[in-house]
Amino acid sequence: MPGLIRGVARTAAIAGTATAVSNRVSRRQAGRWAAQAEPEPQYAAPPPAPAYAPPPAPATPDMDEKLAQLAQLGALRDSGVLSDTEFEVQKNRILTS
């Protein structure tokens, strides 16, 4: 008799677990199907942006000006007015401008 009760209890536990899992899967699938069945919300298109002219590009110094500035900078370094670190900082500023 104890073996029979144990077998029935095990079957009931397995059946209960299977039922719970099946119900959860069914609810999840129904939720997904309902979400797919809903139409996409239709939004009005935003009004077109006002047309305006972009700002003019900043004037970039040509290469001759940069070379002249670098020559003056080198002369200041050679005469001792600028240290090597100050020279490098100014040189990078000129080259990146």
* Radius of gyration (C-alpha) of the chain in whole angstroms: 40
d(CA 91, CA 77): 11
d(CA 54, CA 58): 12
pTM strictly above 0.75: no
**In the chain, where are the structural domains located?**
1-38, 63-96
Which pLDDT does position 2 carry in this prediction?
65
Per-residue pLDDT of the chain (97 residues; tens, 9 = 90+): 567 777 777 887 787 788 888 888 888 888 888 777 766 667 777 777 777 777 776 666 578 888 888 899 899 999 988 899 999 999 988 888 7
